[in-house]
Amino acid sequence: MSVHLFVPTFRVKECLDEIEECLVKGWTGLGYKTVAFEEAWKSYTGLQNAHFLSSNTVGLHLAVKMFKSIRGWCDGDEVITTPLTFISTNHAISYENLTPVFADIDEYLCLDPVDVEKKITDKTRAVIFVGIGGNSGRYQDIVRLCQKYNLVLILDAAHMAGTRLNGKQVGQEADATVFSFQAVKNLPTADSGMICFKDHELDELARKYTWLGINKDTYARTTDKGAYKWHYEVEHVGFKYHGNSIMAAIGLVQLRYLDQDNSYRRQLCNWYEEALSGNDKIKIVPTAPNCESSRHLFQISVDNRDELMLALNESDIFPGVHYRDNTEYRIYESAKGSCSNASYLSKRLISLPLHLRLSKIDVDYVVSTLNKLLQ
CA distance 92 to 299: 25
pLDDT at 228: 52
What lies within 8 Å, CB to CB, of 190 at 6+ separation is 183, 246, 247, 250
DSSP letter string, 289-352: TTEE------EEE-SSHHHHHHHHHHTTEE-B-S---GGGSGGGGGGTTS-HHHHHHHTTEEE-
Burial (0-12, 13-18, 19+ Cβ within 10 Å), 310 = exposed
What lies within 8 Å, CB to CB, of 123 at 6+ separation is 76, 77, 78, 99
CA distance 46 to 161: 12
Query: What is the pTM (predicted TM-score) of this model?
Result: 0.96
CA distance 3 to 351: 13
The angle at the Cα of 164, spanning 158 to 166, to the nearest 5 degrees, equals 145
Mutual angle of helices 258-276 and 360-374, in 10-degree steps: 30
Nearest Cα neighbor of 289 from 177, 115, 135 is: 135
**Per-domain boundaries in the chain:** 3-256, 258-374
Cα–Cα distance list, 312 to 2, 89, 303, 370 (Å): 10, 30, 14, 7
Low-confidence ranges of the chain (pLDDT < 70): 217-230
Instruction: Tell me the sheet residues that pair with 155.
Output: 129, 177
Tell me, what amino acid is at 324? R
The alpha carbon dihedral of 223, 226, 227, 229 has a sign of: negative
List pLDDT tens digits, range 82-139. Answer: 999 999 999 999 999 999 999 999 999 999 999 999 999 999 999 999 999 999 999 9
Burial (0-12, 13-18, 19+ Cβ within 10 Å), 361 = exposed
CA distance 249 to 97: 36
| Three-class DSSP labels, 132-166 | HHHCCCCHHHHHHHHHHHCCEEEEEECCCCCCEEC
What lies within 8 Å, CB to CB, of 337 at 6+ separation is 327, 343
CA distance 54 to 353: 27
pLDDT at 50: 98
Nearest Cα neighbor of 103 from 82, 127, 124, 125 is: 82
pLDDT at 224: 56
pLDDT at 307: 98
- Are the C-beta atoms of residues 51 and 30 closer than 8 Å to each other? no
In this structure, which CATH number among 3.30.2130.10, 3.40.50.720, 3.30.70.100, 3.40.640.10 belongs to the domain 3-256? 3.40.640.10
In this structure, which CATH number among 3.60.21.10, 3.90.226.10, 3.90.1150.10, 3.30.1370.10 belongs to the domain 258-374? 3.90.1150.10
Q: With the CA atoms of 107, 109, 114 and 115 taken in that order, what torsion angle do they form, in degrees rounded to the nearest 10?
A: 130
